[in-house]
Structure 1
Amino acid sequence: MKRKKSGSVGYRLLQYAAHAKGAIVLALVCLALAVTAQLAGPFVAKDIINRYIVGVQQVWYEVPPHTEGAVAVDGAWFARADRLAPGARRDNPHTFATIGTSSYFLPGEIQAIAPGPRPGAIREETHGRWRVVSANPLTRAQAFAFYRPEVPRVIRMALLYFALLASSAVFLYGQQYLLEISANRILVRMRRDVFHKIHCLPISYFDRVPAGKIVSRVTNDTESIRDFYVQVVANVLSSGVMMLGIYIALFILNVHLALLACALVPVLVAWIWIYRRLTVSVNLRVRQLLSEINAMLNESIQGMPIIRAFNREARTADEFGEMNQAYYEGQTRLLRVNAATGYNLAGVLRNLFFAAIIAWFGWRSLHLEPIVSLGVLYAFVDYLNRLFQPITQVVNQLATLEQARASAKRVFELLDEPGVEPEYGAIPRFRGEVEFEHVWFSYDGEHPVLRDITFTAQPGQTVALVGHTGSGKSSIMNLLFRFYDPDRGAIRIDGQDIREIPPQKLRQHMAIVLQDPYLFTGTIAWNVGLGDERVTRDRIERALRDVGADRLLRNVPGGLDEPVLEGGSTLSAGERQLISFARALAFDPAILVLDEATASVDSETERIIQDALQVLKRGRTTFIIAHRLSTIRDADLILVLDKGEIVERGTHEELMALGGRYRQMYELQTKALGVTG
């Protein structure tokens, strides 16, 4: 079956983001307000410079004494031309101008002044003509008098500037908070989807993919995707909105300067394209190596007794070191690219643009072309500095972006694996008739492990499967539980093909006891009932009592509530096996499978288990995969398998009378036990 394709990685990440679109939209609104408040600041600063500082240097007219905003000079009062009401008289014009740090108040309407040829003289331009005049500079107090009326206005504008900064900070906090909340919601949903998908995958998937790699996708890869939503999306969105706002402000400020700044856009696009070309494959390899490291750690921890028993510590450490070194080298390569294309390159680019601006202004000055005002120049430099901040932020997030894309690709590959959606619900209890009809099966599609298997188990019968390792016994049970489906033939329960029954409903009336039963972290009671509401406390206690587990567990300090560690490591093999027997009994299955359930226990525990078996088999169709043939003498049907085929069938007495393979196996075991004894 081919995997379904559900669009590009970026598109699917956006699909997940849509689940938190309300909070994201609100975050964007906060971001837009924050950017607006931030970008209004340079306009306020430009106004302060042009209107209230440089704006003092203009023509002043004589006005009545004590006029608001007027300045007294030698007994006369003067007001700025731009502060006079329309139609007001404009008498006795004077011009306030500066040369360096010296200020002058000169009679007449003067366009410009320059240093004179001698001390106490200046050059002034009037109606396009220059002349030399005698003039004494104002004292500091006299000069400040012209600025004093502007101080309240400057203070108000400064307060407005700080208010804009404060409101911007508030909105940025809201934007960051909302995006963090959105990212966590998205990750909760993604992890839930991944965990749900794991439960939909066929058993064959877990046969070929190590558990550590799957765990890495659920934990490491999804955490990397979280960084994408928290860091990349937050920074790229804020940077994009900031850059857009800056360019709008630049075009409002001065079109020529804005066009000069537009040269940054193709540079940024090329920058991102080159970075992705250099890092995409490396990021994928690094994420794969991290997954392999997790898989090896998981395998090493699980197999620690074997590693130590065979003195494999050094070799295992060498293998881990090789993998760890490969991961280090991949990370180092990424660091080299990030260092070359990160903040330093942004600084070089910024300096180049400042050099271009200086050259442009110098060229305009040399050719005596009009130059923008000081306030506009200040605002442009401020905006250009601000423009490089989001550019640097975007570039610095490229590494996180590519890591997140690599992780997302791996997560989506898992989500795209073909699986079966669970279908829960009640179905009538099986009578227990099981029929295999000409069943063929192979795990790889090429080498059959079951060949033309045909038999029928009547309700309540006990069917034993015997044979050497690899003969196909466990494969038959895997097909019965629909862990796999046969390549050919049919398996029926009560006359219905099991492929027509959803696996979850099929297993509702089936139970299995494995040779090495698995216990979950929790308590003994929880491991019997598995948290199922239908399995009451009384039912759990009765099941444990019926299988004889109370005799083995009476010395456990906590009783039914005794904590169980992962895998049941604090319990003996017999105790774990009896708990698994009680689990099967508590769910009252119609069909029971015992997979070499007595192979790993001592003789005393085996006698207890044999008694428990009689309880378990009562009223159920039971399949026993037998290792000790002495435990299946009373089976209603014994199937002898060899290389995936049923070579003999019958009761114990019939097979012994037949004198074939079963009798040879039985006599060999009996003889071995006799010699041992």
Structure 2
Amino acid sequence: MASEQKSTKSSVIRRLTRYALLYKLRIAAALLVLCCAVGAELAGPYIAKTIIDKHISSVQLPWYEISLQQAAGSGTPYVELDGKAYVRNDWAQPGDQDAKLFGADAIRRAGKEVRFMQLGGAMYLIGGADRYDGNWSLQTGPGQGEAVAQVSRSGEAPQAYPARKLSASEVVSLYQYDTGAVFRWLWLFVGLLVLAGVLHYVQAYALQSTALRIIQRMRMDLMRHIQQIPIRYFDNTPIGQVVSRIANDTEAIKDLFMSFMATFVVSTINIGGIYIALFLLDFRLALVTLIFIPVFIVVMYVHLKFSRKYITVMRARLSDMNAMISESIAVMPIVQAFRQERARLDEFEVLNEDRYRNNVKQFRVFSLSSRNFTGLVGALFTAGTIWYFGGQSLQTAISFGVFYAFIDYLGRFFQPIIGIFDQLMNAQRAMVSAEKVFYLLDLEGRELEEAVGLPRPQGHVVFDNVTFGYKEGEPVLRGITFEAKQGETVALVGHTGSGKSSIMNLLLGFYEPSSGSIRIDGANIAGMSKQALRKHMGIVLQDPFLFAGNIKFNVSLYNEGIDETRVRQALADVGAAPFIEQLPGGYNEPVVERGSTLSAGQRQLISFARALAFDPAILILDEATASIDSETEGLIQRALQVVSEGRTTFVIAHRLSTIREADLILVLNRGEIVERGTHDELMRQQGRYYRMYQLQKGGEKPAAGQSVG
């Protein structure tokens, strides 16, 4: 079972990857822009480190006190205090006029080493010490006269040295050669931030628009494939579940590409860039942080393992809820008429409660393993880093700039980890949804083939010993054999479940017979394209379906061969023109979903006009007069005569009075033809058809010698 799930998961990942590879160039370009954006963004802490170490903290480097004459002659930058020149150790460059002055031996001869230190909130000049390592402190506070700085070293007695307090202007003069460089670094820092923002916008737009394209492609594939799936699938699948696959499940997959993929890629590149920066800063610290990767991988694995089952149930319940909502809305009049509102609410509440409980469990796993765990690990490691290096001299163990940059990068390191955790739920939801979508796409279907230019058949239909069952071993039709010649009308009658609609479903190619054959003009329909088979067929249902649009559209159905003139003529021929011309919009009158603003008879007439406009060779009328009143039935009967003229017509009827003129009447019982003939022939037999007809006529028998025709 586990290996099967693993195989399914890998298959889903491969198929999602194939969809992504359709737009590989756009994704590659977005990732390249992303790398540039991350590089620009991650340069910030390094720039800050450079500013701190080379300019702000550089005042604590060794300084050398020399005479103004020596300093002026060397051409090296210096700071003047109390008639003396002070040169910082890093200001002597190899190309200077007298760089040798700043060699170790020359310094000892020319002057003395001093230090500028911040003690007690002020900057002091300290000189005279032979060494400047150790812990320095201000022995006497600022006051009249010179202060005293004391140094303590392990194993040695404390020593005191005179310290001169610097004024604010003198402190500023120490940084006079660093100000320009600091501003240049700051401008570079701001420029990189702006560049990173622009690049992040470009890559986000590119990735997300690509994700939308991927989902658009997937939805079109799904919608296209649904039209190829055999009708048998829809017999056993609630409509709401199919709608949920196309709408909700593809939306969840969209989150995978838009949110998780973008976050995962951004986070991975960020983490990679951060590790590069950490190794450049300090190799030891970077090695320690490597332990985070396996730790977080284990936590993510545990998170995925426990939360997957909850997300699977949540998606299943959402699908069930959609199916129930769709069903409830479709049969709302029945629900209200039989006062079933409370029962439907209770049933919905059970589904909703189950989804809620699993959602809570999933969030519990998410809360324990995502931000809380990551934040705790990050805080503990940061505290440990500060404790470890805080107990040592920052100048000997690590520079303050490196320490600052490391803490900054460390904080940035945990942000992408948290981002990945936050998107794991979307990723799991998307994987579960993808499994359902690909299951639907994997259902066997037939490719839609073009049926342009096919000749119109004569309409000679033969059923030859056809047997069929919706479930294997449970036939609903047995040995059905009959012939309908061109232009004839064949009526099918029988009680509910006798197999009338099943015969028409086989003729339309919705199902394949278990045995026997169905031929049209001598050709077996089993080898025909379904589009070619149905191109010259028309059907009128008991409850005709009208699409949202207008009346003209519901007749032509986007068929380019049916123009407005043909639409008007078809509506006039079936007798629908008078009531349509009285509507406010006439032939352009809007039709709401299912045509609920029109009466049953009006909808039926429009469906007859649709069949007439398409000019089918074979016409199927499925109880087309079963749900209309007697007055409208007269209009329908005349429309039926117009529509069926010159066509092979099959009529499924409960009202036997509507099929008296049929050329052949087939009486079915439990999937078998038990009687056949014309109306007069069947009445003379006084069998099943005779009893059905008399029952509908109120039990009246014809008088002796009176014709039953």
Shift of residue 580 of structure 1? 0.6
Aligned 1:14-53 pairs, distance under 5 A:
14-53=17-56
Map of 2:77 onto structure 1 = 69
Map of 1:284 onto structure 2 = 312
Structure 1 residues 198 and 6, CA gap change in structure 2 (3 angstroms): farther
Percent sequence identity over matched residues? Answer: 46
**2-side partners of 1:131 and 1:593: how far apart?**
111
Map of 1:96 onto structure 2 = 115
Specify the SS of the correspondent of 1:135.
strand
Structure 1 residues 80 and 155, CA gap change in structure 2 (3 angstroms): same
Map of 2:676 onto structure 1 = 649
Shift of residue 111 of structure 1? 4.5
**2-side partners of 1:221 and 1:625: how far apart?**
39
**2-side partners of 1:526 and 1:296: how far apart?**
31
Amino acid at match of 2:90: D
Deviations 1:90-140 (A, max 9, x none): 3324332425344324258744254479655446799x9999453223313
Shift of residue 22 of structure 1? 2.5
**1-side partners of 2:130 and 2:525: how far apart?**
103
**1-side partners of 2:10 and 2:449: how far apart?**
27
Equivalent in 71, 78, 85 of residue 93 of structure 2: 85
Map of 1:383 onto structure 2 = 409
Amino acid at match of 1:371: A
**2-side partners of 1:537 and 1:375: how far apart?**
80
**2-side partners of 1:114 and 1:605: how far apart?**
108
8 A Cα contact 1:113 1:122, kept in partner? no
**2-side partners of 1:260 and 1:552: how far apart?**
84
Amino acid at match of 1:98: M
8 A Cα contact 2:245 2:436, kept in partner? yes
Equivalent in 123, 133, 139 of residue 112 of structure 1: 133
**2-side partners of 1:588 and 1:470: how far apart?**
30
Structure 1 residues 107 and 602, CA gap change in structure 2 (3 angstroms): same
Which shifted more, 340-349 or 640-649? 340-349
Equivalent in 282, 296, 300 of residue 272 of structure 1: 300
1:473 and 2:530 equivalent?
A: no
Map of 1:573 onto structure 2 = 600
Structure 1 residues 77 and 129, CA gap change in structure 2 (3 angstroms): farther
Map of 1:515 onto structure 2 = 542
Map of 2:436 onto structure 1 = 410
1:396 and 2:422 equivalent?
A: yes
Shift of residue 355 of structure 1? 3.2
Structure 1 residues 122 and 453, CA gap change in structure 2 (3 angstroms): same
Amino acid at match of 2:55: Y
Map of 1:153 onto structure 2 = 181
Shift of residue 78 of structure 1? 2.9
Deviations 1:559-607 (A, max 9, x none): 1111111111111111111111000000000001111111111112111
Equivalent in 54, 58, 74 of residue 55 of structure 1: 58
8 A Cα contact 1:103 1:143, kept in partner? no
8 A Cα contact 1:121 1:132, kept in partner? no
Amino acid at match of 1:52: H
1:419 and 2:445 equivalent?
A: yes
**1-side partners of 2:601 and 2:574: how far apart?**
12
Aligned 1:525-540 pairs, distance under 5 A:
525-540=552-567
**2-side partners of 1:117 and 1:327: how far apart?**
68
Specify the SS of the correspondent of 1:648.
strand
Shift of residue 270 of structure 1? 0.8
Deviations 1:290-316 (A, max 9, x none): 111111111111111111111111211
Deviations 1:617-636 (A, max 9, x none): 21111111121122212211
Specify the SS of the correspondent of 1:397.
helix
8 A Cα contact 1:115 1:121, kept in partner? no
8 A Cα contact 2:126 2:161, kept in partner? no
Shift of residue 552 of structure 1? 3.8
8 A Cα contact 1:110 1:124, kept in partner? no
Amino acid at match of 1:348: L
Structure 1 residues 118 and 23, CA gap change in structure 2 (3 angstroms): closer
Map of 2:4 onto structure 1 = none
Which shifted more, 594-603 or 131-140? 131-140
Map of 1:261 onto structure 2 = 289
Map of 1:336 onto structure 2 = 364
Unaligned runs of 5+ in 1: none
Map of 2:520 onto structure 1 = 493
8 A Cα contact 1:521 1:563, kept in partner? yes
Amino acid at match of 2:425: A
Which shifted more, 506-515 or 17-26? 17-26
Deviations 1:217-242 (A, max 9, x none): 11111111111211111111111100
8 A Cα contact 2:694 2:700, kept in partner? no
Map of 1:177 onto structure 2 = 205
Which shifted more, 340-349 or 455-464? 340-349
Equivalent in 584, 606, 623 of residue 557 of structure 1: 584
**1-side partners of 2:669 and 2:494: how far apart?**
6
Specify the SS of the correspondent of 1:65.
helix
CA RMSD of the aligned region, Å?
Answer: 2.5
**1-side partners of 2:158 and 2:580: how far apart?**
115
Map of 2:105 onto structure 1 = none
Which shifted more, 55-64 or 562-571? 55-64
Specify the SS of the correspondent of 1:448.
coil
Structure 1 residues 668 and 117, CA gap change in structure 2 (3 angstroms): closer
Unaligned runs of 5+ in 2: 1-6, 103-109, 141-146, 703-709
**2-side partners of 1:259 and 1:342: how far apart?**
24
Map of 2:273 onto structure 1 = 245
Deviations 1:188-209 (A, max 9, x none): 1111111112111111111111
The size of the alignment, in residue pairs, is 669
**2-side partners of 1:113 and 1:97: how far apart?**
15
Amino acid at match of 1:225: I
Which shifted more, 578-587 or 34-43? 34-43
Amino acid at match of 2:428: E
